[in-house]
């Protein structure tokens, strides 16, 4: 049975819940919810194992904090013998507007500390990523406050819609692969 690993990046402490930087956690939580999974804290991560369309899907939320996410991702990739092309790391992305998702089969960390850690631990940039656009509407020098801030009330409906589209994209990735999923989802401009 083919296996997949979806790693949503974020910070495990409750104070970070609902922040832009924790959108990776929110996406894997929603994926688990859609498919009847429950997270249990195991080694280095909250973990759930799901069966869907003849595949096994592991979802993880690293407990290592964002900047050491790679430690958990590497552990679960190796433990479950996941091929890197079947890994999807889900992160927030300030260089994309809130209306966009971007899926890529590889590429640099682009300044994201969680992706830098994954790259360091895996020894490669060639693993799939789903970048969830957050926009970059913050004064110069306030990036940390912005990404660790909660979504604005006027953003929440669009964020919910984008989470749903992210789940569709993850299901598509499992069923038809990354190239066709990119064609379908990277061009979307999500609005209410």
CB of 112 closer than 8 Å to CB of 93: yes
Per-residue DSSP letter, 150: B
Taken as a whole, the chain contains a residue count of: 192
Distance CA 128, CA 90 (A): 9
Catalytic-role residue among 21, 35, 112, 137: 21
Q: How far is CA 124 from CA 28, 101, 111, 115, 120, in A?
A: 23, 22, 15, 11, 7
- Known active-site residue 21: yes
What's the maximum distance between 2 C-alpha atoms anywhere in the chain?
49
Distance CA 89, CA 129 (A): 5
User: Which sequence positions are flagged as catalytic?
Assistant: 21
């Amino acid at each position: 049975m083919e296996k997949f690993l979806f790693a949503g990046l974020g910070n495990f402490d409750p104070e970070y819940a609902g922040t832009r930087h924790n959108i990776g956690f929110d996406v894997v939580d929603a994926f688990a919810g859609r498919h009847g999974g429950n997270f249990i804290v195991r080694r280095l991560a909250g973990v759930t194992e799901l069966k869907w369309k003849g595949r096994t899907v592991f979802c993880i939320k690293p407990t290592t904090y964002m900047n050491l996410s790679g430690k958990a991702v590497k552990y679960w990739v190796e433990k479950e013998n996941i091929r890197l092309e079947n890994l999807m790391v889900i992160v927030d992305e300030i260089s994309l507007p809130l209306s966009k998702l971007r899926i890529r089969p590889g590429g640099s960390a682009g300044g994201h500390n969680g992706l830098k850690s994954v790259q360091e631990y895996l020894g490669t940039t060639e693993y799939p990523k789903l970048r969830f656009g957050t926009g970059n509407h913050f004064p110069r020098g306030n990036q940390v406050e912005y990404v660790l801030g909660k979504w604005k009330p006027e953003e929440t409906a669009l964020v919910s819609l984008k989470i749903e589209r992210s789940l569709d994209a993850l299901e598509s990735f499992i069923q038809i692969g990354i190239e066709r999923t990119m064609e379908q989802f990277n061009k979307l401009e999500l609005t209410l």
